[in-house]
């Protein structure tokens, strides 16, 4: 792996950018290889996207010094860029300074209220804070009390997310996030309705239909779950279809779901 | 690491050389005919000897065959085939809403 050429590493990083999986440690490893080879001193156009990618991955892997270095490099090159400002906010989040991050994002939103990426980070900040009703139970913890004092709560995040989706209807990630927030609170009917909006926006994607089917199953709506699981298997053209490793596609998971539903229906 | 070029690459190189050679011979023959004052009977519309025309056509066909042979494999166009390559981790990742304060900072921290 360390003997791979620079162009191989760059291709791999470009693949990771389009793939949208969450494996920050791999990105950081590749980024460190590149920096050790001194590639960061060259000035290609790709350098800046790679720096941004490595900086966000470094925050998730706890390597805040690397993230700071990348961010300062980007800030000197692009002084007033909203993307760099977003990155600096993410670094603040990673350092644990949530109130600072909240202030930073709100400042940026005051300057430009149409920046959806900043709004999404602010929503994430709210959603990953404890819910406002739980602070009475955890009095001793300093972090909980500071975030509650700063006005960060999960309910506020939920409210902001619903407002955001009212304005920007076709945000697929937003609907998916809303569904998972409701599911996390145990509100499965609301989660199901959020997923139905998602299905309107991306009807070709069997994974969203699978998510809908699994939520219907959790809710106890077995006829709906059965219909949807079969529909996913039909969409994926069978159960065993997939790439060479056989791990791709939603067909197999949907088939397992259909088996579960048929087991329940027999016992009813 | 030195490696042999693929058969398709070899075919492309050879066919291209022969094709260029046919073009050069055609130019040379026309020049010589002009200086010698000789009129060459036209075959297939151009006043060139048959062997040069045959060389040009055959080398072009071989060049086209080589180019098609060396092309990357075709990808499928249906949604089902595209979706069968994706995995659920990439579909449900929701990167814009990703929480960065998780145990990744503990698991992957620099070991001092």
| Residue B62 is assigned to a structural domain of this protein | yes
Nearest residue on chain A to B88, judged by CA atoms?
Answer: A207
pLDDT in tens, chain A (268 residues): 456 788 888 888 888 888 888 888 899 989 888 888 888 777 788 888 999 999 999 999 988 999 999 999 999 989 888 999 999 999 999 998 889 999 999 999 999 888 899 999 999 999 998 877 655 554 445 555 566 667 888 899 999 999 999 999 999 999 999 999 999 999 999 999 999 999 999 998 999 999 999 999 999 999 999 999 999 998 887 776 555 555 667 888 899 999 999 988 776 5
Which residues does A218 contact at the CB level (< 8 Å), separation at least 6? A183, A188
Q: What is the ipTM for the molecules in this complex?
A: 0.79
Positive or negative, the CA dihedral A162, A164, A168, A172 is negative
pLDDT for the residue numbered B44: 78
* Sequence ranges of the domains in chain A: 1-85
| Residue B28 is assigned to a structural domain of this protein | yes
Give B34's pLDDT tier (boundaries 50, 70, 90).
confident
**What are the residue ranges of helices labelled H in chain B?**
7-36, 50-69, 79-83, 88-91, 104-107
Residue A223 CB coordination number (10 Å): 10
> How much is the average pLDDT of B57-86?
88
Range of B53's domain? 7-70
Task: Nearest by CB to A124, from B92, B99, B107: name it.
Answer: B99
pLDDT for the residue numbered A2: 53
| A243 Cβ under 8 Å from any chain B Cβ | yes
Please give the model's pTM, rounded to 2 decimal places.
0.78
pLDDT for the residue numbered A1: 46
pLDDT for the residue numbered B52: 92
Considering its fold, how many domains does chain B have in total? 1
Q: In a 3-state reduction of DSSP, which class is residue B46?
A: strand
Distance CA B62, CA B59 (A): 5
Nearest residue on chain B to A63, judged by CA atoms?
Answer: B109
Q: Which residue bears the tokens 């300057």?
A: A111
A85-121: per-residue pLDDT in tens?
Answer: 999 999 999 998 889 999 999 999 999 888 899 999 9
pLDDT for the residue numbered B3: 75
Question: Which positions in chain B touch A204 (Cβ < 8 Å)?
Answer: 79, 83
| Residue B85 is assigned to a structural domain of this protein | no
| Residue B106 is assigned to a structural domain of this protein | no
pLDDT for the residue numbered A227: 94
Residue A57 CB coordination number (10 Å): 28
**Average pLDDT taken over every residue of chain B:** 87
Task: Nearest by CB to B90, from A20, A60, A124: name it.
Answer: A20
Q: In a 3-state reduction of DSSP, which class is residue A141?
A: coil
pLDDT for the residue numbered A140: 47
H or E, element range at A30: helix A24-36
C-alpha separations of A247 from A15, A230, A241, B89 in Å: 18, 19, 9, 11
Provide, rounded to the nearest whole percent, the portion of chain B with pLDDT above 70.
96
pLDDT for the residue numbered A146: 62
Cβ contact, residue pair B84, A19, below 8 Å: no
pLDDT for the residue numbered B87: 81
Nearest CA-CA distance, residue B6 and chain A, Å: 20
B74-92: per-residue pLDDT in tens?
Answer: 888 888 888 877 888 888 8
Cβ contact, residue pair B80, A63, below 8 Å: no
């Amino acid at each position: 792996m360390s003997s791979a050429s620079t162009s191989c590493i760059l291709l791999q990083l470009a693949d990771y950018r389009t793939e949208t999986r969450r494996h920050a440690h791999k990105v950081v490893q590749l980024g460190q290889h590149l920096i050790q080879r001194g590639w960061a001193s060259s000035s290609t156009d790709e350098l800046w996207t790679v720096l941004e990618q490595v900086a966000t991955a470094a925050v998730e892997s706890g390597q805040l010094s690397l993230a700071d270095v990348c961010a300062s490099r980007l800030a000197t090159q692009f002084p007033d860029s909203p993307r760099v400002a977003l990155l600096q906010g993410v670094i603040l989040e990673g350092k644990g300074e949530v109130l600072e991050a909240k202030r930073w994002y709100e400042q940026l939103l005051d300057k430009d209220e149409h920046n959806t990426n900043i709004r999404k980070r602010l929503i994430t900040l709210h959603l990953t804070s404890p819910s406002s009703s739980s602070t009475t139970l955890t009095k001793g913890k300093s972090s909980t009390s500071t975030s509650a004092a700063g006005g960060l709560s999960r309910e506020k995040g939920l409210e902001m997310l619903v407002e955001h989706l009212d304005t920007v209807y076709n945000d697929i990630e937003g609907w998916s996030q809303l569904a998972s927030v409701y599911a996390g609170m145990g509100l499965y009917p609301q989660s199901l309705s959020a997923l139905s909006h998602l299905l309107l926006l991306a009807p070709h994607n069997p994974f969203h239909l699978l998510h809908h089917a699994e939520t219907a199953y959790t809710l106890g709506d077995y006829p709906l779950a059965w219909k949807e699981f079969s529909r996913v298997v039909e969409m994926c053209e069978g159960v065993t279809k997939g790439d060479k490793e056989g791990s791709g596609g939603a067909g197999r998971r949907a088939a397992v779901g259909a088996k579960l539903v048929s087991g329940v229906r027999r016992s009813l | 690491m030195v490696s042999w070029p693929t058969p398709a690459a070899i075919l492309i190189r050879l066919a291209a050389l022969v094709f260029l050679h046919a073009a050069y011979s055609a130019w040379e023959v026309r020049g010589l005919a002009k200086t010698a004052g000789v009129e060459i009977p036209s075959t297939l519309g151009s006043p060139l000897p048959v062997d040069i025309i045959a060389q040009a056509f055959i080398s072009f066909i071989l060049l086209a065959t080589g180019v098609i042979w060396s092309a990357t494999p075709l990808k499928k166009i249906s949604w089902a085939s595209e979706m069968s390559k994706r995995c659920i981790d990439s579909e449900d990742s929701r990167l814009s809403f990703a929480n960065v304060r998780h145990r990744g900072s503990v698991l992957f921290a620099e070991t001092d």
